[in-house]
Amino acid sequence: MSVFGDTLRQARAQKELTLREAEQVLRINRHYLAALEEESFEHLPALTYQRGIVRAYASYLGLDPSRLVTLFEEVRGRTGDDPQVTPATQPMDMPNHWAPNFAIIAFTLIVGAVMLTWLYSAYFNTSPDAPQTIGLQPTVTPVGDDVIYVPSPTPLVPTATATLPPSPTPTMTPTPEATNTPEAAARDQEIQSSSRSTTVAGSDKTSPSIPAALPNGQVAIMVTALADLWIEIAADGEMIFQGTLAQGESTGWVTGEKFNVFTSSGVNTEFTNHIGQVFTMGNEPGEVVYYL
């Protein structure tokens, strides 16, 4: 057993805490916490979540999260299941001068010459041997009196057209309004409680909606996960949110003057402020800490 596991176990023993108590506060499976103390890293989830669990457990025990993460990296080492980090490629320097393509120029000249030759032969070159067209003069053929058509004086009666009946006017069917039933109230309460399940216990600085008025110097932010993430949000030095966000889930609105946000994947972390601006702080593929 190395220093990493002993440090966690001794810190928990000094605080007289059990793994079940730590699980209820952190909302992290106690088997994962026991695996960290026993250094059985094969029982932990993916590496993306392991560092977040180490940080949360160290903060809960009053230890330095950065030092514990460093010890965790030294003890765990690197395995074949770890994601490969692809270095960023530098853009190639391309010449700015324009180089003409002589093959395209030559092909264009040849096509133009062929078109001019065809137009000249079709419209301007008349052959002397071409047959001459003889114009025809119209003649009048006399018609006898017995074949002359005399129209009948009987007037034509117009045929009556059918009139289509008017189409019925569509009527709007009123939509019944939702009533406040006990089942609906229980369902709303369940949804609200589930949305706060990953918020740090005792914090009252998160809200499902933007505050109506913010004190001078304070702003409100909300984080949305574009993939499964581990998120930690501290406002003005106080930890407000800590937990896992599934893809598409968002935290509540967090108010403050200065924010410290840790995420397990910077490229999949989306920020929204109280004036409706949506932005990302960077394009880091792995974990990163943002200072707002």
Q: What is the mean pLDDT of the chain?
A: 74
Task: Give the residue-averaged pLDDT of 97-109.
Answer: 77
Secondary structure, 3-state, the chain: CCHHHHHHHHHHHHCCCCHHHHHHHHCCCHHHHHHHHHCCHHHCCCHHHHHHHHHHHHHHCCCCHHHHHHHHHHHHCCCCCCCCCCCCCCCCCCCCCCCCCHHHHHHHHHHHHHHHHHHHHHHHCCCCCCCCCCCCCCCCCCCCHHHCCCCCCCCCCCCCCCCCCCCCCCCCCCCCCCCCCHHHHHHHHHHHHHHCCCECCCCCCEECCCCCCCCCCCEEEEEEECCCEEEEEEECCEEEEEEEECCCCECCEEEECCEEEEECCHHHEEEEECCCCEECCCCCCCCEEEEC
Q: Residues 165-185: what's their mean pLDDT?
A: 49
> Range with the lowest mean pLDDT among 115-124, 150-159, 264-273?
150-159
| Tens of pLDDT, residues 2-49 | 788 888 889 899 989 998 998 999 999 989 988 888 888 888 888 778
Please report which confidence band the pLDDT of residue 138 belongs to, taking 50, 70 and 90 as the band edges.
low
Q: Identify the CATH number of the domain defined by range 3-76.
A: 1.10.260.40
Q: Regarding predicted confidence, which is higher, 157 or 290?
A: 290
Question: What's the whole-model pTM score?
Answer: 0.38
Mean pLDDT for 143-156 is: 53
The pLDDT of residue 234: 93
Band of the pLDDT at 65, cuts 50, 70, 90? very high
Between 154 and 62, where is the model more confident? 62
Return the domain boundaries, the chain.
3-76, 197-291
